[in-house]
């Protein structure tokens, strides 16, 4: 759906709305045709576009790396093999520099996180109208639906459900390995016996709830910062692309100016796309290292 078919406000809202599947108030199941209907579906609704692209990009990552691994040669590597080996070496160096424990899961997880998040973020470099317009056209052609009621976001990392899902998965692994390596008592001790301590048992009893409050807030802040940092940066980047796209409907002069802005922002956004994937991966490694470290 092009910006010329909607007002600027409606165009922005349309591109920021996910394709949502869930239960309507009357008990029937289906896709939401407006933001209000999506809100009425509640927590158990599914963002179809986020799920679709997350799975497709995850499968693409697995297929590509498996293909390269099967055809890997000991001689001079080809372009694709050289690129994949460069990524693997980069991840291996990052893990060796930030992870001091021993866990064969950390390096593959870091590789998966980096490449998967990078691919999700990279979708933001596609023109904002191409895929949503194609999906709207298909919906109108095949099902006679109103294109303005068909939503399809293409950047999974601009959906907090995706970023929170990944962050909570990392957080769950961190808690699991913390308890596994330190025991329930050791993990509880980290939450209650530091940073303030005393040899006096009465004073220590007073300090325990204070320590717990400080450490619990710090603990909960980890998945929140991990997810919201990625979501906020990618959401802002997508919003800028949408605002630039509106300029194309404001005449030839604004369209040309918007083209230069879009090119400049896209080039700069490549750095943001890569940096956010790197930060998510690095924090994942650091959190896993904390789960394996004794205090």
Contacts of 218 (CB under 8 A, 6+ apart): none
> So where are the chain's domains?
3-292
| Catalytic residue, candidates 98, 229, 249, 293 | 229
The pLDDT, as a whole number, for residue 4 is 47
Q: Which of 225, 227, 249, 293 is catalytic?
A: 225
Closest CA to 95 of 283, 276, 291: 283
Query: Do residues 257 and 248 lie in contact, with contact meaning Cβ atoms separated by under 8 Å?
Result: no
Query: Digits of tens for pLDDT over the chain (295 positions)?
Result: 544 456 888 888 888 999 999 999 888 999 998 889 999 998 889 999 999 999 999 999 999 999 998 887 776 667 888 889 999 999 999 999 999 988 999 999 999 999 999 999 999 999 888 899 899 899 888 887 888 888 999 999 999 999 999 999 999 999 999 999 999 998 998 888 888 888 888 888 889 999 999 999 999 999 999 999 999 999 999 999 999 989 888 888 888 888 889 899 999 999 999 999 999 999 999 999 999 887 6
Half-sphere exposure of 171 (CA within 13 A, CB side): 16
Give me the pLDDT at residue 278, please.
Answer: 97
Our answer to whether residue 233 is catalytic in this structure is yes
Looking at residue 295, its pLDDT comes to: 63
DSSP H helical segments within the chain, as ranges? Answer: 8-16, 35-40, 48-70, 79-98, 106-122, 130-143, 160-192, 201-246, 252-292
**129 touches 96 (CB < 8 A):** no
pLDDT confidence of residue 149: 84
Catalytic: 18?
no
Assign 153 to helix, strand or coil. Answer: coil
Q: What is the pLDDT of residue 2?
A: 47
């Amino acid at each position: 759906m092009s910006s010329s078919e909607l007002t600027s406000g409606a165009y922005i809202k349309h591109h920021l709305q996910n394709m949502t599947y869930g239960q309507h108030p009357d008990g029937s199941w289906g896709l939401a045709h407006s933001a209000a209907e999506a809100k009425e579906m509640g927590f158990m609704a599914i963002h179809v576009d986020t799920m679709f692209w997350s799975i497709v990009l995850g499968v693409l990552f697995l297929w590509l790396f498996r293909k390269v691994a099967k055809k890997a040669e000991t001689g001079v590597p080809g372009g694709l093999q050289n690129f994949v080996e460069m990524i693997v070496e980069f991840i291996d160096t990052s893990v060796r520099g930030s992870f001091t424990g021993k866990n064969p899961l950390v390096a593959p997880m870091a590789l998966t996180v980096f490449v998967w998040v990078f691919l999700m973020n990279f979708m933001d470099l596609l023109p904002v109208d191409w895929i949503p317009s194609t999906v709207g056209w298909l919906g109108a052609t095949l099902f006679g639906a109103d294109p303005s009621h068909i939503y399809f976001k293409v950047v999974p990392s601009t959906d907090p459900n995706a970023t929170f899902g990944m962050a909570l998965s990392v957080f769950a692994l961190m808690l699991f390995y913390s308890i596994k390596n330190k025991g329930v008592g050791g993990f509880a001790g980290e939450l209650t016996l530091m940073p303030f301590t005393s040899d006096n048992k009465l004073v220590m009893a007073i300090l325990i709830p204070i320590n717990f409050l400080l450490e619990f807030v710090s603990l909960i802040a980890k998945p929140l910062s991990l997810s919201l940092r990625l979501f906020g940066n990618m959401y802002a980047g997508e919003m800028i692309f949408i605002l630039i796209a509106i300029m194309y409907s404001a005449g030839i002069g604004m369209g040309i100016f918007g083209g230069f802005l879009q090119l400049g922002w896209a080039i700069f956004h490549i750095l943001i796309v890569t940096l956010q994937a790197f930060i998510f991966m690095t924090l994942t490694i650091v959190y896993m290292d904390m789960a394996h470290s004794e205090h």
